[in-house]
Structure 1
Amino acid sequence: MRVLIVDNEIYLAGSIATKLADIGYECDIARNVKEALKDEKYDVVLLSTTLSGQDFYPVIEKHKGSIIILLIAYISNDTVSKPMLAGASDYIQKPFMIEELVRKINHLSEHKNMQNMLVAYQTYIQNALKCYKTQDIDPKKLKFPLLIKTNKTEYADSFVFELTKQTKGSFKYIIAQNLTQTQKELISSECEYIYISEAQNLNQNEIEKLLNLSQRKKLILSSTNFNLNIKTESIEILANESHFSIDEIATIDDYIKHIINMYQDKYPDTELSKRLGISRKSLWEKRKKYEITKKK
């Protein structure tokens, strides 16, 4: 990890650099703002707010992608509040123990990594679920426990992600078939929502136990079994008929219906019927059977 120490107290800066180097950090020292603005990248910048007669804000702007810890002699708006608003990450007051500085560096580094991972996960989830649009959600009208019945689990996943996004809540995600006694105890965790996916794999007794365990939580279950009847509020989310994965086994009727819906505007009837291996008359009959209207 590369560290830049910006301080005109050269003996203090050298002492910090030596102690950090002893535990594996690579350190450079800048005695003034000009030296700190060189076109180099650092993981951490230790910035003194007592650089006599120098404006240190350009250093914060230059290294805003790094962890910036202010080295302060006293706490004030000028040494802490304003620099933090400008983009500094934290501060430590002189004199300080090197162990305390390392603790702050490690904590801020872990926090930054978690933020980057969170953004990556959110981007991945949004992309993975973008095909699974659900109805508009009004959190105020929802009652819990809630059972979501759907023929594609991804629709229930999308519903839960959108709900927690709107309410700025957190949820614990559990796949029913992986539910253990330890995980059942975790239902008392700090998360506002508990989402148990694929509840069709649980028997009635297991579901009743879950309902009892989560009385103080907002419990959401999803099931592809539309005949599952439990004493909860329930909603149904039907999959878009034109959407199924290549790894799913579809009926012949579902497949033909899918192809007609997807390609009838791309190919003329002669070509479409030929690709389906049926006559034009049969194609017309299929449209009538499936109640598919051809766009003109």
Structure 2
Amino acid sequence: MKIIIVENELYLAQSIASKLNENGYVTEIFSSIKEAMNSQGDVYLLSTNLPGQNTSPLIKQFKDKIIILMVNYINNDTVGEPLKLGAKDYIVKPFMLEDLMRKIEHYKEYQSLKRQTSLYQEYMENLLQDIETSFDIEQITTPLVIETNYQRLVDKIVFEHARQTNTLLRFIPLSDKNWKEKIQSSSHSSLLYITEIHQLKKTDKEALLEMLKDYDFILCSTTELESDFETITLNTDSKLYDQNEILTIDDYVKFIVNSFQYKFPDTELSKKLGISRKSLWEKRKKYGLFKKK
């Protein structure tokens, strides 16, 4: 991690740099905003007491970096406006280096978590993008049990519901042997998304439903489930192949035809399925799988 120090008091800048270097950081010192504009760093320690210099251009240019203001006193010019422009935090001079490093490490971890969250969100959106649903997500009220023939359909609905309502979501698959501990350690302000209830024995199912009376949740079940909670049924004919799921022969044929009917002519498609063209035509008619012109 490279730290850029923008400070016109050379002794102070060198003192900060020396202590940061001792703790494993790489540093570079600039005495003016103009010089620092061409720098490349991960963290910017920016003095707001630079005579005749405007810090705004630097903050705007590097607002995606970690900018920590070094201030002599707190007012709108030294702290308020810079924070609005994109600076992350401030520290009042004179300060202890340990306090500064705690701030740096805090925002370093924060940036890392933001990148990870963005990556996982993009992955989930890509994973679920081909799943079609006309369900109005605004109708969801929790706690809720959703019975379905396809868990990924519910995955899409639950993740979109959490995004729209800005709700903290905790995913708990019941195939995890520690599912009880995970539920009990969950915050009551979070929404639990629980799946794979078919993995549980009858007594464990009963214990789960009793435990959930104290939590806000959405429970996805691929089988019928008796409970006192509100229950809705959401099914789809647009199931995608999942290697962890055993499809019926009819579902497999529908999946193959939907996925490859625009890539192969019917002669080739029927050959790959091991059926005749007539049989393929009959299945198209049965399942409404005709090509769209």
TM range (shorter): 0.7 to 0.9
**Distance of aligned partners of 1:93 and 1:275 in 2 relative to their CA distance in 1, 3 Å threshold:** closer
| Separation (CA, whole Å) in 2 of partners of 1:194 and 1:218 | 6
Q: For 1:2-21, what per-residue CA distance to the aligned partner results, in whole angstroms no more than 9, with x for missing partners?
A: 11111111111111111111
Task: For residue 68 of structure 2, give the secondary structure of its aligned residue in structure 1.
Answer: strand
Alpha-carbon deviation of 1:33? 1.7
**Distance of aligned partners of 1:278 and 1:207 in 2 relative to their CA distance in 1, 3 Å threshold:** closer
Name whichever of 18-27 and 245-254 sits farther off: 245-254
Task: For residue 52 of structure 1, give the secondary structure of its aligned residue in structure 2.
Answer: coil
State the match for 1:105 in structure 2. Answer: 104
Matching residue's letter, 2:169: F
Aligned residue among 232, 254, 262 for 1:235: 232
**Distance of aligned partners of 1:264 and 1:24 in 2 relative to their CA distance in 1, 3 Å threshold:** closer
Name the count of aligned residue pairs: 292
**Distance of aligned partners of 1:265 and 1:103 in 2 relative to their CA distance in 1, 3 Å threshold:** closer
Matching residue's letter, 2:202: Q
Alpha-carbon deviation of 1:59? 1.9
State the match for 1:124 in structure 2. Answer: 123
Alpha-carbon deviation of 1:210? 2.5
| Separation (CA, whole Å) in 1 of partners of 2:212 and 2:273 | 51
Name whichever of 12-21 and 281-290 sits farther off: 281-290
**Distance of aligned partners of 1:276 and 1:288 in 2 relative to their CA distance in 1, 3 Å threshold:** same
Residue 18, structure 1, aligned to residue 15, structure 2 = no
Aligned residue among 200, 206, 209 for 1:208: 206
Matching residue's letter, 1:169: T
| Separation (CA, whole Å) in 1 of partners of 2:237 and 2:7 | 62
Matching residue's letter, 1:13: A
Residue 168, structure 1, aligned to residue 166, structure 2 = yes
Contact residue 145 and residue 211 of structure 1 kept, 8 A = no
| Separation (CA, whole Å) in 2 of partners of 1:203 and 1:168 | 34
Residue 199, structure 1, aligned to residue 197, structure 2 = yes
Contact residue 46 and residue 68 of structure 1 kept, 8 A = yes
Alpha-carbon deviation of 1:260? 4.6
Q: Percent identity?
A: 44
**Distance of aligned partners of 1:270 and 1:133 in 2 relative to their CA distance in 1, 3 Å threshold:** closer
Contact residue 173 and residue 194 of structure 1 kept, 8 A = yes
Matching residue's letter, 2:28: D
| Separation (CA, whole Å) in 2 of partners of 1:65 and 1:257 | 47
TM-score w.r.t. length of structure 1: 0.86
| Separation (CA, whole Å) in 2 of partners of 1:121 and 1:113 | 12
Alpha-carbon deviation of 1:192? 2.6
Structure 2: 5+ residue stretches without partners = none
Q: CA RMSD in A?
A: 2.6
State the match for 2:83 in structure 1. Answer: 84
